[in-house]
Every structure is written in structure tokens, then in C-alpha cells.
Structure 1
């Protein structure tokens, strides 16, 4: 695991955690510069998902420990904020539940927090991997019907769909061929089977959630199931649309959460 750091170390630090199978530069590259106005920006690149390392993704809990160790070593165990995009929100939940570090603000970006047993997860992997991995590695699906569907999305889809497709590539448009199938499957499966406690209430700090209303009402119930006092910021958008397509509003929302008003 690597962490890329940007800006003034004297400013409060925010740690950015990518989503499922996302390359850190594609996931957060467009918001790093504007965030530097008020934050020291630190972006995690998970084991198995960094183009400068020869590693494999281990498990959610092992990677959580590495994130904790980074915060302890580089920030004295106390950081202003941790933002988790999608799957990254699961890490935020685990950090809050374990309380091995202190984060003033843990922010989940529209995370689904899906969980399942071992059998169902194994079945989902068998279905998802043949579809997902070739696209990540080669930039195209093996199945002709999926290729046609993707072509139609890229030609007629909104900026939202195109932006999410591009998160599965480098900013230069290259495929993520450095990511192994083992890392993708481990990340996908480990996120599903790693339990997240209910009614998490950190002794220090707050939990905030960017709630995309178009994901559905069931996620509101899920957020209140896992967190005792979450602060929901509601947007009539799709999953992580605020981050992907509205960077100025996303940065402003993060600043309003993390910078106390005088």
C-alpha cells in the first residue's frame, strides 16, 4: 500500500480512500488540487491497485491495519478527516468501529455497505469476475452483448456513466493491466464478507454520509443500522455522482463538514 501526499503539511490532513477496483489518480485526481486550499491531501493506493508496486490485495482487515499504521506513523494517530469513496466507506466504518486511531470526521461517499455470507459471495464472484476483470485489464468485455451495451453507454450515456467508466482506466485512458484478477476478486469478496458492526459510535469524532437519494431508501436504513449518530448530507443524485461529476460542490461539502465555522 502506498499513500501519495500533496500540499502544505501544516494544514489539517484528509485521507482519501478509493472505491472498488479504482485507480487512485482516476478516482481523486480531479479534486486533489482544490482540496489543497484547506487540507494536506493524502490519497491511499491499495495493495494490488498501484502501478508502482508488485503487490496483491490481502483483505479488508489487513488493509485497514495498514491504513491505521500510516495514520499513527505519519499523523500521530490523529487525522482531521477520512473520506471513503464507495468501497472506501467500508474502510471508514471499520476505522470508526476499531477506534485504533482518531479521525475527527469519517465520511462515507454513498457507500452501499453490502454484506453477504461466504456461499453467496463465492457465487457472486463467479458471476462478476468474468464480466468485470477483462474490462479492467483489457478495456473491453469478452461478451459481445456487454461490448454492445458499453458502446451504447459511451455514445449516448450521460457524463455520469462516462466518468465511472473512466475511473476503471488511468487518466491517460490506459487500461489497468497492472491489476491482477486475484486482487480484484479478493477486494470484492473481502468487502462482502467482512462484518461491519451495528450502531458504531466513535468516542471522538463524527460520521458523515454523502447520501445519494437515487440509490434508494433502503440505504438510509442501512446507514442508521451501522452508525448510531450519522449525519446525512442528501443529494438527489446517483451513487458517488457528487464526487464524479460535481467537483466544486463536492469540495465545498467536504469543507463545510471538516472546517469548523468561527
Structure 2
């Protein structure tokens, strides 16, 4: 795991964790400048997701422990904010569950918190990862999924999504990332004493499932749906607006997306 730092250390520290099969620069390269006027930004590069680090990922739990240890050592166990994109939000969730560090503001972006037993998770990954790996390497969709991407909106979204995928990722790391995320449980009713939690999603995702999960795991969180957008689409399609959202939430202020927002308070 590597850490890339930007901005003045005199500003509040905010960590950014990239998503599944992505890369810190592909995920956050367009928003760093927007944030460093107010925050000290640290982009986390997970194992197996950085060309300067040949380490393969061991597990999502291992990534969580490494990040937790780093924050304890370098920041005395206390940071102002953290954002986890997609699977990065799983790490945020585990940090909140463990409560070994203090976080003022924690934000997850389109994290699904899916969980499976080991055997069905293995079967699922054996089926899905070859297709996901092909998409990461070539941007092409395997035949079983082809009928679902004939709609222009979905096709365009996938093309934009592929631009954020780290195409040097190995099959082993991609498999490990998916599999260990699925089999790593996260507790229900996580209510850290001093953390404001925001769960962000796009209303074009499986909205009903996501909202239910967020309410189960983080009953005191504020859940914000970005109307008309898909999985992390605000981040990679509208980086300036995404940065505005993050700044607004980190000030504990109300965020309104120009296309509409759906806000769900405490469950």
C-alpha cells in the first residue's frame, strides 16, 4: 500500500481510497487540485493497484489493517475525513466498525457492502472475474453481458468507466479483491460516537438494495442519492461537482446536486 500526499499539512487531512480495479490517479487525479486549497489530501494506492508497487493484494482485511496502522502511526490515530469509492468504502466501513482510529467525517461512494459465504462467493468470482478482467484489459464486454449494453446510456457509461480502470492489474489481485470483499463481514448498527457518516449512491444503481444496506450498517448516516447517475458517475464524469459535494459535506452543510438529490435521514 502506498500513499500520495498533496497540499499543505496545516490543513485538515482527508484520505481518498480508490475503487475496484482502479488506480488512485485515475480515480482522483482530476479532483486533487479542487480539494487542496482547503485540505491536505492523501490518496491511497491499494496493493496490486499501482505500477510503482509490485505487491499483490492479500485481502480487503489486510488493506484495512495497513491503512489503520498508517493513520495511527503518522496521524496519531485521528484524521478529519475519509472517502471510499466503491470497494474503498468497504475499507471505510471496516475502519468505522473497528473504532481504533477517530474520523470526523466518513463518506462512502456507491459501496454495495455485498456479503456471501465462502463457497457461493468462490463460484460467483469464478464466473465473473474472467469477464471483469477482460473488461479491465480491453474495455470489451463478454458475450453473456452484451445484450445488456446495447442501450446507448449504458454503453456510454461503461466506456467512461473503463477510462478509470487500472489496466495493469493482475488477474490474481482482481480475484482477491472481489472474493475477500464478499467474504469479509461488516457489522450491523455501526454508530461511531464522533463520526458523521455519509453514504452516496446514484439513483440509476440498485437504489432499494443500497439504501437498505446503508440503513442496516450505518443507521445514523445521511444517505444521499444523486439523481440520474450510475455507480460513481459523479466522480469520474463531473469531478468539479464531485469536489464541491465533498467540500460541502466535510463542512457538515447540505449538498444539492443540480440534477436532483434524494436525501434519507436516520433510519
* TM-score, length basis structure 1: 0.88
Structure 2 matches for 1:70-85, cutoff 5 A?
70-85=70-85
Aligned-residue CA RMSD (Å): 2.3
Give the Å deviation of 1:116.
Answer: 0.9
What whole-Å deviation, never above 9, does each CA across 1:102-136 have from its counterpart, x for those lacking one?
Answer: 11011001211111111111111110122122332
Distance 1:146 1:107, change over 3 A: same
User: Aligned equivalents of 1:189 and 1:43: distance in 2?
Assistant: 24
Give the Å deviation of 1:157.
Answer: 3.7
Give the Å deviation of 1:70.
Answer: 1.4
User: Aligned equivalents of 2:51 and 2:152: distance in 1?
Assistant: 26
Task: Answer 1 or 2: which has greater helix percent.
Answer: 1
User: Aligned equivalents of 1:38 and 1:183: distance in 2?
Assistant: 34
Indicate yes or no: 2:138 matched with 1:139.
yes
1:118 alignment partner in structure 2: 118
1:173 alignment partner in structure 2: none
User: Aligned equivalents of 2:154 and 2:97: distance in 1?
Assistant: 42
8 Å contact kept, 1:153–1:162: no
User: Aligned equivalents of 1:18 and 1:75: distance in 2?
Assistant: 20
Aligned match for 2:174, one of 164, 168, 184: 184
The 4+ residue runs of structure 1 with deviation greater than 4 A are: 140-143, 146-156
2:158 alignment partner in structure 1: 161
8 Å contact kept, 1:77–1:101: yes
Give the Å deviation of 1:230.
Answer: 0.6
User: Aligned equivalents of 1:218 and 1:163: distance in 2?
Assistant: 24
8 Å contact kept, 2:139–2:159: no
2:218 alignment partner in structure 1: 227
**Which stretch shifts more, 116-125 or 231-240?**
231-240
Q: Partner of 1:30: helix, strand, or coil?
A: coil
Aligned match for 1:252, one of 229, 244, 248: 244
How many residues are matched? Answer: 251
Distance 1:146 1:31, change over 3 A: farther
Aligned match for 2:194, one of 192, 196, 204: 204
User: Aligned equivalents of 2:87 and 2:139: distance in 1?
Assistant: 23
Specify every segment of 5 or more residues in structure 1 that has no aligned partner in the other structure, as ranges: 170-175
8 Å contact kept, 1:154–1:162: no
Q: Partner of 2:16: helix, strand, or coil?
A: strand
User: Aligned equivalents of 1:57 and 1:150: distance in 2?
Assistant: 31
Indicate yes or no: 2:11 matched with 1:11.
yes
User: Aligned equivalents of 2:148 and 2:100: distance in 1?
Assistant: 42
* TM-score, length basis structure 2: 0.87
